Amino acid sequence: MTSNALSLLGLALRGNHLAVGEEPVAECCKTRRAKLVLTAADAAENSTQRAARWAEAANVPWTKVPWTKEALGAALGRSACAMAALTDAGLAAALAKKLVESDPQYQPLCDKLAVEKPQRPQMRKKKKNVRAETKRPAVPET
């Protein structure tokens, strides 16, 4: 399951829905684009506290993921990665589901991020232009 979750993070990065590193995560939280903040299992305590503060200020959930900085970085094409932020609600919910499949302790996170499908607006019927059909031609036919 973890390889699926890591590949999902790689997909989010390629789709430009993942901020990787301290400064991009801080910016995402400040601009309220972040939907989920992640920190590596072996990230420094200072980095973890900073990510938690930013997530709390942005009112988004944050969690420690079960991967090391090296494993997380390898999935994202970097040598190491201590923190990241998902900016897409659907991807954040999908990642939470994958984490729950591997470890049930992530269930509260999954419940917070549960995304309901938005209902499509109903299409209005096009009104006929009744006046156009009853209108007389401007020039009489000869």
Task: Show the domains of the chain with their CATH numbers.
Answer: 2-112 (3.30.1330.30)
Percent of the chain with pLDDT strictly greater than 90: 56
Q: 28-51, pLDDT tens digit by residue?
A: 999 999 999 999 999 999 999 999
Q: What is the pLDDT of residue 137?
A: 65
pLDDT tops 80 at residue 125: no
**Position of tokens 């499949």?**
101
Instruction: Compare 96 and 118 and report the one with higher pLDDT.
Output: 96
Tens-place pLDDT, residues 57-85: 999 999 999 999 999 999 999 999 999 99
Query: What is d(CA 75, CA 98) in angstroms, rounded to the nearest whole number?
Result: 15
Integer CA distances (angstroms), 88 to 8, 30, 34, 105, in order:
12, 16, 8, 22
